[in-house]
Amino acid sequence: MKAVEARDVVLNFGETPALRGASVAVAPGEIVAIMGPSGSGKSTLLHCLAGILVPDAGEIHFDGHRIDTLSEGQRSALRRDQFGFVFQFGQLVPELTAEENVALPLLLGGVKRAAALREARPWFARLGLDGLEQRRSGELSGGQAQRVALARGLVARPGALFADEPTGALDSLTGEQVMELLVSSARDQGTTVVLVTHDARVAAYADRQVIVRDGRVNALVHS
């Protein structure tokens, strides 16, 4: 259970202002959905919170530590050791089997292959993926691939999970199934979740929704 916070974050892409003083505080174990129009700065805010982008001004905090002032190498280690990620299009490694994809964060963290695969396996039953362990991503449906991506995001028990349109490539029923699994798995583990979505039905699964407009977080909706 780790807190994630942006304070007055400003970020420009050249002449384009993406964030103009965005603040959001996500409590330990909380699930927050970032909503807002296309181009408003949602993904940029997520990438700042996740230590991928460094703001031009303002502060990013994780678990009470300031992380925007860390070096590139320290942020990379922090992402590897503390953060899980889920993207819109699963982004599974096509050459690896489903169970190798799930085990990947553990392998990258130095866990031995046999132990990593042992930890990956229970996720298949948990997420309704029994029997798909040896499939490659091309042999999975969109919903199956996204559940494998969810397992990969959570397998290393991250302090925080960052998800960018995790259901964006799925039809609405499949998307809702993925969200139910995301929310229940994150709650089981006490993982803090920050997700970006433009879909109000997806956002309704969060504890709280924040709206980004023109690079600022300017509205709060409790669901």
Query: Of how many residues is the chain composed?
Result: 223
Choose between 40 and 146: whose C-beta lies nearer to ligand ADP: 40
Q: Where are the alpha helices (DSSP H) in 71-205?
A: 72-82, 98-108, 113-120, 122-126, 142-154, 172-189, 200-203
Stretch that binds ligand ADP, among 69-77, 97-105, 129-137, 172-180 (CB under 6 A): 69-77
- The rounded Cα 84 to chain-centroid distance in angstroms is 6
By CB under 6 A, residue 74 contacts ligand ADP: yes
By CB under 6 A, residue 26 contacts ligand ADP: no
By CB under 6 A, residue 81 contacts ligand ADP: yes
- Residue for token digits 């590897």? 80
With CB under 6 A as the contact rule, the residue among 9, 35, 42, 211 that binds ligand ADP is 42
Q: Whole-angstrom Cα distance, residue 161 to residue 172?
A: 22
Q: What are the structure tokens assigned to 44, written together? A: 């940029």
Choose between 28 and 142: whose C-beta lies nearer to ligand ADP: 28
Amino acid at 26: V
Using CB under 6 A as the binding rule, the residues of this chain from 45 to 64 that contact ligand ADP are 62-63
Number of residues that bind ligand ADP (CB under 6 A): 21
Q: Whole-angstrom Cα distance, residue 156 to residue 171?
A: 28
With CB under 6 A as the contact rule, the residue among 3, 5, 32, 44 that binds ligand ADP is 44
Stretch that binds ligand ADP, among 12-20, 115-123, 184-192, 200-208 (CB under 6 A): 12-20
Contact 60, 23 (CB under 8 A): no
Q: Interface with ligand ADP by CB under 6 A: which residues?
A: 13, 16, 18, 36, 38-44, 62-63, 65, 67, 70, 74, 77-78, 81-82
